[in-house]
């Protein structure tokens, strides 16, 4: 697990749980869900990605990679969301979301492996009208040239006039459909992903399920996956840790944009 000591004295002096996060960040969403499942008290620090607050010197002193979330627990900085949720499950009281369950690590690893595809599809099918960076903004991202060159390269490619290459988008869609098909087969006859209770595998995959639904993914084509998606959406942690942090105006915009992409033959399903 990656733990850091911030050079910012104010951060090093923080007591309790402090989460630096963004409403629509998939990685932030999974951490907030675990905090809600644990019913933990925590302090919210929003990092506005649209304003490039993740590449300010102040935030880079917390997470040099310029990524959210970052958790500060009694002055110690924790980064990498999968490590953070494992840490919270281990250290906080409340229901055990699974640590040694057979098959758990396999499904967490599968989820982690498709995150680049989730990111590509999210930026293409949801964020495209709003998230292209200007040259001035890209200059801010140059601060990541050493610590996170992949993020810099992604935004440079996405922010060109042409945007992401069709082959990259098609590859992401194919990977996501394959992943959901595999999950659908696994969920046949099961209530939860691993064992007989809601756990960490459900946490990490419910975030992806929500994001895919926003994009117009054909959920109805995968019956077991669709049933499981409805079950996780009924949990308080889904509403409080995920939906609550999505501005209503953005959800309305995404619905309109998804319909526009579908009607124009350029939506998610057109790449399948």
Q: Domain 2-91 has what CATH class?
A: alpha beta
Assigned CATH topology for domain 104-133+164-271: Glutathione S-transferase Yfyf (Class Pi); Chain A, domain 2 (1.20.1050)
Q: What is the pLDDT of residues 70-114, one digit of tens each?
A: 999 999 999 999 999 999 999 999 999 987 778 899 999 999 999
Selection from 20, 22, 28 nearest residue 59 by Cα: 20
Is residue 52 classed exposed, middle or buried when 0-12, 13-18 and 19+ CB atoms within 10 A define those classes? buried
Q: Can you state the angle between helices 26-37 and 115-125, rounded to 10 degrees? A: 110
Q: What is the pLDDT of residues 188-200, one digit of tens each?
A: 999 999 989 999 9
Q: What percent of the chain has pLDDT over 90?
A: 81
Q: Is the pLDDT of residue 51 over 70?
A: yes
Give CA–CA dist 140/138, Å, rounded.
5
Q: What is the pLDDT of residues 58-68, one digit of tens each?
A: 999 999 999 99
Give CA–CA dist 144/135, Å, rounded.
15
Q: What is the pLDDT of residues 206-250, one digit of tens each?
A: 999 999 999 999 999 999 999 999 999 999 999 999 999 999 999
Q: Which residues contact 161 (CB under 8 A, 6 or more apart)?
A: none
- Residue ranges matching CATH 1.20.1050.10 in the chain: 104-133+164-271
* Order of all β-strands in the sheet with 17-21: 2-4, 76-79, 70-73, 17-21, 43-46
Give CA–CA dist 212/217, Å, rounded.
5
Q: What is the pLDDT of residues 158-183, one digit of tens each?
A: 999 899 999 999 999 999 999 999 99
Torsion sign (Cα): 75, 9, 30, 170: negative
- Residue ranges matching CATH 3.40.30.10 in the chain: 2-91
pLDDT in the model for residue 116 = 96
Q: Is the pLDDT of residue 5 over 80?
A: no
Q: Which residues contact 50 (CB under 8 A, 6 or more apart)?
A: 130, 131
Give CA–CA dist 251/84, Å, rounded.
27
Selection from 88, 73, 79 nearest residue 35 by Cα: 88
CA atoms within 13 A on the CB side of 249: 0
pLDDT in the model for residue 255 = 94
Structure pTM? 0.93
Give CA–CA dist 260/266, Å, rounded.
8
* SS3 sequence of 192-239: CCCCCCCCHHHHHHHHHHHHHHHHCCCHHHCHHHHHHHHHHHCCHHHH
């Amino acid at each position: 697990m990656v733990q850091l000591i911030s050079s910012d004295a104010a951060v090093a002096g923080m007591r309790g749980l402090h989460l630096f996060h963004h409403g629509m960040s998939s990685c932030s969403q999974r951490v907030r869900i675990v905090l809600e499942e644990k019913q933990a008290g925590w302090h919210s620090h929003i990092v506005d990605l649209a304003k490039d607050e993740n590449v300010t010197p102040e935030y880079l002193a917390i997470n040099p990679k310029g990524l959210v979330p970052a958790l500060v627990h009694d002055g110690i900085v924790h980064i990498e969301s999968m490590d953070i949720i494992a840490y919270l499950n281990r250290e906080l009281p409340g229901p055990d979301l699974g640590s040694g369950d057979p098959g758990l690590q396999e499904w967490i690893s599968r989820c982690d492996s498709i995150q680049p595809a989730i990111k590509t599809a999210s930026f293409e099918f949801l964020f495209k009208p709003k998230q292209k960076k200007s040259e001035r903004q890209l200059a801010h991202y140059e601060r990541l040239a050493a610590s996170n060159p992949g993020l810099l390269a992604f935004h440079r490619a996405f922010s060109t006039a042409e945007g992401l290459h069709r082959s990259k988008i098609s590859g992401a869609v194919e990977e996501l459909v394959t992943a959901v098909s595999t999950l659908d087969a696994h969920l046949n006859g099961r209530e939860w992903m691993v064992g007989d209770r809601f756990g960490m595998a459900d946490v990490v995959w419910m975030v992806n399920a929500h994001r895919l639904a926003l994009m117009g993914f054909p959920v109805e084509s995968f019956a077991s996956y669709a049933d499981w998606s409805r079950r996780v959406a009924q949990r308080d942690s889904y509403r409080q840790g995920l939906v609550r942090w999505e501005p209503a105006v953005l959800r309305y915009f995404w619905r309109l944009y998804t319909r526009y992409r579908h009607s124009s033959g350029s939506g998610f399903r057109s790449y399948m």
